[in-house]
Amino acid sequence: MSDDLLAAFVEEARELLDQAADDLLALERGPDDTAALEGLFRATHTLKGSGGLIGFTALEQAFHAAEDRLSEVRQGARQIDPGLVGALAAAVEQAELWVEAIAASGELPGDAAVESSALVARLGAMDAAAAAPDRAPTADWAEALRREAPGVAGPLIAFRYTPNAGVYFSGDDPVAVVATVPGLVHLRLDSRTPPEPDPAYDPFTCNLVLSGLSAAPLTALQAAFRFVADQVAFAEPAERVSQGEPPLAARSGTEPQARSLRVDAARVDALAASADDLVVAKNALTQLLAQAAATSPPGLARSLAAAQADLDRRIARLHETIGRMRLVPLAPLFRRFPPIVRQLAASLGKSVDLVLSGEGAEVDKAIADGLHEPLLHLIRNAIDHGIEPTAERRAAGKPVPALLRLSAMPAGDQIVIELADDGRGLDIARVRSTAVRRGLASAEALAAMSDDLAADLIFRPGFSTAASVTELSGRGVGLDAVRARTAALGGEVSVHTIRERGTRFVLRLPVRVRLARLMMVEAAGETFGVPLESVVEATQVAPGSLTPVRAGRALVWRDRPVPLLSLAGLLAMPGPDPAERDLKVMIIRSGDELAAVSVDAFGDRIEAPLRPLAGVLARVPGVLGSSLLGDGRVLMVLDIPELIG
The shares of helix, strand and coil residues in the chain, as percent rounded to the nearest 5, are: 45, 20, 30
| Whole-number Cα distances in Å, 451 to 92, 430, 465, 496 | 43, 12, 16, 8
Burial code (b: 16+ CB inside 10 Å, e: under 16) for 58-96 equals bbbbbbbbbbbbbbbbbbbbbebeeebbbbbbbbbbbbb
How many whole angstroms separate alpha carbon 392 and alpha carbon 503? 17
Q: At what angle do helices 298-325 and 265-295 cross, to 10 degrees?
A: 170
Q: Is the pLDDT confidence value at 243 over 60?
A: no
Q: Given the DSSP bridges, would you call strands 327-329 and 362-364 parallel, antiparallel or unpaired?
A: antiparallel
Question: Do 624 and 549 share a structural domain?
Answer: yes
Q: What is the pLDDT of residues 71-83, one digit of tens each?
A: 888 877 778 887 8
457, 479, 510: which is the final residue of a domain? 510
Question: Do 521 and 506 share a structural domain?
Answer: no
Please tell me which of 262-271, 540-549, 573-582 the model is most confident about, judged by mean pLDDT.
540-549
Please tell me which of 5-9, 314-318, 324-328, 538-542 the model is most confident about, judged by mean pLDDT.
538-542
Query: What average pLDDT does the segment 347-363 reach?
Result: 88
Query: What average pLDDT does the segment 32-38 reach?
Result: 83
Query: What average pLDDT does the segment 464-488 reach?
Result: 60
pLDDT at 409: 92
In-domain check, residue 258: no
pTM > 0.75: yes or no: no
Q: Given the DSSP bridges, would you call strands 515-523 and 352-357 parallel, antiparallel or unpaired?
A: unpaired
Question: Do 458 and 529 share a structural domain?
Answer: no
Q: Is 233 helix (H, G, I), strand (E, B) or coil?
A: strand
Q: Is the pLDDT confidence value at 31 over 90?
A: no
8 Å CB contact between 244 and 237: no
Query: What average pLDDT does the segment 57-62 reach?
Result: 87
pLDDT at 248: 47
Question: Do 322 and 335 share a structural domain?
Answer: no
Question: Do 496 and 552 share a structural domain?
Answer: no
- At 125, phi and psi to the nearest 5? -80, -10
In-domain check, residue 553: yes
Question: Do 431 and 357 share a structural domain?
Answer: yes
Please tell me which of 217-231, 344-358, 475-489 the model is most confident about, judged by mean pLDDT.
344-358
How many whole angstroms separate alpha carbon 201 and alpha carbon 193? 12
In-domain check, residue 294: yes
Q: Reduce the secondary structure of 517-528 to three states and give it as a string.
A: EEEEEEECCEEE
8 Å CB contact between 596 and 563: yes
Question: Do 634 and 543 share a structural domain?
Answer: yes
Q: Is the pLDDT confidence value at 623 over 70?
A: yes
User: CATH number for the domain including 635?
Assistant: 2.40.50.180
Q: Is 624 helix (H, G, I), strand (E, B) or coil?
A: strand
Q: At residue 577, what is the residue type?
A: D
Burial code (b: 16+ CB inside 10 Å, e: under 16) for 520-529 equals bbbbbeebbb
- At 319, phi and psi to the nearest 5? -65, -40
Q: What is the pLDDT of residues 497-508, one digit of tens each?
A: 888 888 999 999
Locate all alpha helices (DSSP H) within 296-389, ordered by sequence: 298-325, 331-334, 337-347, 365-370, 372-381
How many whole angstroms separate alpha carbon 630 and alpha carbon 7? 39
| Whole-number Cα distances in Å, 210 to 163, 177, 190, 334 | 8, 10, 6, 38
Q: What is the pLDDT of residues 89-145, one digit of tens each?
A: 888 888 888 888 888 888 888 888 888 888 888 887 765 444 344 434 456 778 888
Question: Do 532 and 484 share a structural domain?
Answer: no
User: CATH number for the domain including 34?
Assistant: 1.20.120.160
Q: Does the CA dihedral 572-576-580-586 come out positive or negative?
A: negative
How many whole angstroms separate alpha carbon 592 and alpha carbon 364? 30
pLDDT at 253: 43
In-domain check, residue 262: no
Closest CA to 404 of 299, 465, 334: 334
How many whole angstroms separate alpha carbon 190 and alpha carbon 468? 69
End-to-end CA distance of the chain: 59
510, 534, 557: which is the final residue of a domain? 510
Query: What average pLDDT does the segment 388-417 reach?
Result: 89
Locate all alpha helices (DSSP H) within 149-226, ordered by sequence: 174-179, 218-224
Radius of gyration, alpha carbons of the chain:
32
Residues 6+ apart with CB under 8 A from 220: 182, 183, 214
Question: Do 285 and 333 share a structural domain?
Answer: no
In-domain check, residue 615: yes
Residues 6+ apart with CB under 8 A from 270: none
Closest CA to 66 of 82, 90, 50, 31: 90
Question: Do 557 and 530 share a structural domain?
Answer: yes
Domain count of the fold of the chain: 5
- Determine the length of the chain: 645
Query: What average pLDDT does the segment 56-70 reach?
Result: 87
Query: What average pLDDT does the segment 49-72 reach?
Result: 85
pLDDT at 252: 42
Please tell me which of 54-58, 143-147, 585-589, 628-632 the model is most confident about, judged by mean pLDDT.
585-589
Closest CA to 353 of 424, 421, 425, 409: 421
8 Å CB contact between 567 and 528: yes
pLDDT at 35: 82
pLDDT at 576: 62
pLDDT at 453: 81
Angle 377-28-375 from CA coordinates, rounded to 5°: 10
Question: Do 535 and 468 share a structural domain?
Answer: no
Number of H helices, E strands in the chain: 21, 22
Please tell me which of 184-188, 293-297, 552-556 the model is most confident about, judged by mean pLDDT.
184-188
Q: Is the pLDDT confidence value at 403 over 50?
A: yes
In-domain check, residue 280: yes
User: CATH number for the domain including 382?
Assistant: 3.30.565.10
pLDDT at 146: 82
Which of 27-36, 131-140, 457-466 is predicted with the least confidence, judged by mean pLDDT?
131-140
Query: What average pLDDT does the segment 406-427 reach?
Result: 89
Q: In terms of C-beta density within 10 A (0-12 exposed, 13-18 middle, 19 or more buried), how is residue 461 classed?
A: exposed
Which of 115-129, 242-256, 378-392, 412-426 is predicted with the least confidence, judged by mean pLDDT?
242-256
Query: What average pLDDT does the segment 221-231 reach?
Result: 81
8 Å CB contact between 14 and 99: yes
Q: At residue 264, what is the residue type?
A: D
Question: Do 303 and 202 share a structural domain?
Answer: no
In-domain check, residue 313: yes
Enclosing domain of residue 203 = 140-235
pLDDT at 640: 84
Q: Taking all residues of the chain, what is their mean pLDDT, rounded to a whole number?
A: 79
pLDDT at 2: 60
Q: What is the pLDDT of residues 163-173, one digit of tens each?
A: 888 777 767 78
Angle 464-468-474 from CA coordinates, rounded to 5°: 40
In-domain check, residue 259: no
For the chain, what is the largest distance between any 2 Cα atoms, rounded to a whole number of angstroms?
Answer: 106
